[in-house]
Amino acid sequence: MQEGENPLESLYAILKLAAEPWRSGNPEIDAFIDLKLEHSARVAEIGGQIAAGEHFPADIMDAANCACMFHDISRFMQYRHHRSFDDRLSFDHGDMSAEILKDAGILDFLAPDDRRDVITAVRLHNKRTLPSELTKHARLLAKLTRDADKLDIMAIFTAQAVENGSADTIGFSLGSERLMSPNILESLAARRCPSYGDIVNACDFWLVRIGWVYDLSFDTSVSIFRERKYLDFLEQELDGIPGADKPLRDAKNYIVSHVGANV
């Protein structure tokens, strides 16, 4: 980064350039490219907030900003080729984003160790769990990217709900039954984030988002989750489902025990 530049603005300009070849000229398709650009910029901003709250060392911040800004860099290609962000129909977008970053030269301004850690964090940002053998910095960057990503995805869902009355689960091929699957409830009862593979019904989709609370790595992230009232939103989406009050109550208790009740 050049001195005096706003690092996030510079990285965003680089991301925009990387998205350009994947535009089709069809506004309907290109709107999805813009959605991912905006998401990436917000994830980088949230990542900065979390890093500040957690007192990340200054010398890791270039790498942290890169991991957050570029975590979804393969999404542009994914949408252009597959008209979908569903990895099951196309490719693992964490792996593909890491491959793009390896080859693109975008991270050349970072020290080699930082570059390697950013690529690892990007590869792992969408995996269920982190492997045990990671460098200290790669682990920190991966946790940061995962937390910031989840927080912004929750923002997208809540914005959709405000606009349309409920959030959009179209494209996730979910059953419409207002039921909760036993495996999902079992994971939540153990304060674990359920497996996406266990999602069957629309309710499961929202129950997994409750599980995200347990997957957040930093108290600052839990605090942002609380401040943005995401649990209230999930409560609305699960309104009237018998038995949904228990996982919601457990998650609330977890939040209070980590960061207190006050907003």
- For the CB of residue 13, give the shortest distance to Fe ion in the complex, in Å: 20
Tell me: does residue 117 bind Fe ion (CB under 5 A): no
Stretch touching Fe ion by CB under 5 A, among 37-45, 58-66, 70-78, 113-121: 70-78
Tell me: does residue 147 bind Fe ion (CB under 5 A): no
Residue nearest to Fe ion (CB): 72
Tell me: does residue 237 bind Fe ion (CB under 5 A): no
Beta carbon nearer to Fe ion, 126 or 223? 126
**With DSSP H G I counted as helix, E B as strand and the rest as coil, what are the percentages for the chain, rounded to 5?**
70, 0, 30
Distances (CA, A) of 262 to 35, 223, 227, 255, 259: 32, 10, 9, 11, 8
Tell me: does residue 204 bind Fe ion (CB under 5 A): no
**Residues 126-145 close enough to bind Fe ion by CB under 5 A:** 126
Tell me: does residue 114 bind Fe ion (CB under 5 A): no
Q: Exposure of 179 by Cβ count < 10 A (0-12 exposed, 13-18 middle, 19+ buried)?
A: middle
Stretch touching Fe ion by CB under 5 A, among 8-16, 119-127, 219-227, 233-241: 119-127
Q: What angle do CA 164, 33, 97 make, to 5 degrees?
A: 120
- For the CB of residue 74, give the shortest distance to Fe ion in the complex, in Å: 9
- For the CB of residue 136, give the shortest distance to Fe ion in the complex, in Å: 23
For Fe ion, the binding residue among 62, 72, 114, 117 (CB under 5 A) is 72
Question: How many residues comprise the chain?
Answer: 263
Q: Collapse the DSSP code of 175 into the 3-class scheme (helix H, G, I; strand E, B; otherwise coil) and give the result.
A: strand
Other C-beta atoms lying within 10 Å of the C-beta of residue 230: 23
Read off the DSSP letter of residue 257: H
Give residues in contact with Fe ion (CB under 5 A): 72, 126
